[in-house]
């Protein structure tokens, strides 16, 4: 890989607040990346406005217009290839991508998930945390593989669960932490400090035994 700005594609389905965090990082110069395309499977995704405002090419690929997952995935792959994306970031992208897609982007596609993986893969994470009575929760960024929310975890951010928390308050408190996590983690890719080999995350050339943990000063330990 060259040492030029990393060419990043971001896939969204909804609000796009994590996309906005990445755009802000790009525009401020904090992140050495070019967001080369934003893809949404929903034409009404509110997050598209952030991309348009920053003049980033937007592609809506509605899954309803394709006969099956493979055809939908192929349309997205075509866009990513044309955009020459080096890294694909799933930021609130609510469609499952097929195993061929995951294979094609092996080691170059990451997903943000609102739980401390491997806990609570899938949906409704906040209510499941509350029901279990957990004392902490958080968010994870992992490499995408064929299994749902199952690839090697790169990084996490943690926060306590308070006595009076409900799903809303957890989501409201986790949101800003997710933004920091996504920016700090994508920055590792921009700095070419993270690789994926044989189902393992390599950080600064060494395999990590535990996900990198984001600290209050936005660095990892």
Q: What residues act catalytically?
A: 113
What sign results for the dihedral spanned by CA atoms 87, 196, 142, 136?
negative
Shortest gap between Cβ of 159 and ligand GRF (angstroms)? 13
Work out whether 17 is an interface residue with ligand GRF (CB under 6 A).
yes
Distance of CA 68 to the CA centre of its chain: 24
* Shortest Å distance, C-beta 19 to ligand GRF: 6
- 97 and 150 Cβ atoms separated by less than 8 Å: no
Under rule CB under 6 A, residue 91 binds ligand GRF = yes
Q: How far is the CB of 116 from ligand GRF (least distance, A)?
A: 12
Q: Residue 205: how many CB atoms within 10 A of its CB?
A: 7
Residue 96, both tokens: 């499952």
> Which of residues 16 and 211 has its CB atom nearest to ligand GRF in the complex?
16
Q: How far is the CB of 200 from ligand GRF (least distance, A)?
A: 23
Q: Which stretch binds ligand GRF (CB under 6 A): 22-30, 33-41, 108-116, 154-162?
A: 108-116
Does position 92 interact with ligand GRF (CB under 6 A)? The reply is yes
Give the nearer residue to ligand GRF in terms of CB position, either 16 or 151.
16
151 forms part of the interface with ligand GRF (CB under 6 A): no
Query: Which residue number, 33 or 112, has a Cβ lying nearer to ligand GRF?
Result: 112
Site for ligand GRF (CB under 6 A): how many residues? 15
Four-residue CA torsion sign, 106, 190, 7, 48: positive
51 lies in the binding site for ligand GRF (CB under 6 A): no
Number of residues assigned to the chain? 221
From CA 205, how far away is CA 195, in angstroms rounded? Answer: 8
* Burial of residue 77, with CB atoms counted within 10 A of its CB: 0-12 exposed, 13-18 middle, 19 or more buried: middle
Q: Does 11 bind ligand GRF (CB under 6 A)?
A: no
User: Which tokens is 23 given?
Assistant: 């755009």
**Residue 59 binds to ligand GRF (criterion: CB under 6 A):** no
**What is the phi/psi pair of residue 74, to 5°?**
-65, -35
Contact 158/187 with Cβ under 8 angstroms?
Answer: no
Residue 14 contacts ligand GRF per CB under 6 A = yes
- Identify the DSSP state of 151: S
Which residue has the CB atom at the shortest distance from ligand GRF? Answer: 92
Q: According to CB under 6 A, which residues from 113 to 142 bind ligand GRF?
A: 113-114, 139
* Binding stretches for ligand GRF (CB under 6 A): 12, 14-19, 47, 91-92, 112-114, 139, 178
């Amino acid at each position: 890989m060259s040492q030029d700005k990393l060419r990043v594609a971001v896939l969204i389905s909804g609000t796009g607040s994590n996309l906005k965090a990445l755009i802000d990082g790009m525009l401020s110069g904090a992140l050495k990346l070019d967001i080369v395309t934003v893809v949404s499977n929903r034409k009404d995704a509110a997050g598209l406005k952030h991309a348009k405002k920053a003049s980033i090419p937007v592609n809506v690929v509605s899954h309803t217009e394709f006969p099956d997952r493979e055809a939908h995935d192929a349309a997205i792959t075509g866009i990513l290839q044309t955009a020459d994306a080096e890294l694909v970031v799933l930021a609130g992208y609510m469609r499952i991508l097929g195993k061929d897609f995951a294979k094609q982007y092996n080691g170059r596609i990451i997903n943000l998930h609102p739980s401390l993986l491997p806990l609570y893969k899938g949906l409704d994470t906040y209510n499941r945390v509350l029901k279990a009575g957990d004392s902490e929760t958080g968010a994870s960024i992992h490499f995408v593989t064929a299994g749902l929310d199952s690839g090697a975890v790169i990084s996490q951010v943690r926060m306590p669960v308070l006595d009076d928390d409900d799903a809303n308050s957890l989501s409201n408190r986790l949101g800003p932490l997710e933004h920091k996590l996504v920016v700090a983690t994508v920055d590792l890719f921009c700095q070419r400090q993270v690789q994926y080999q044989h189902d393992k995350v390599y950080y600064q050339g060494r395999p990590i035994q535990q996900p990198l943990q984001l600290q209050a000063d936005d660095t990892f330990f």
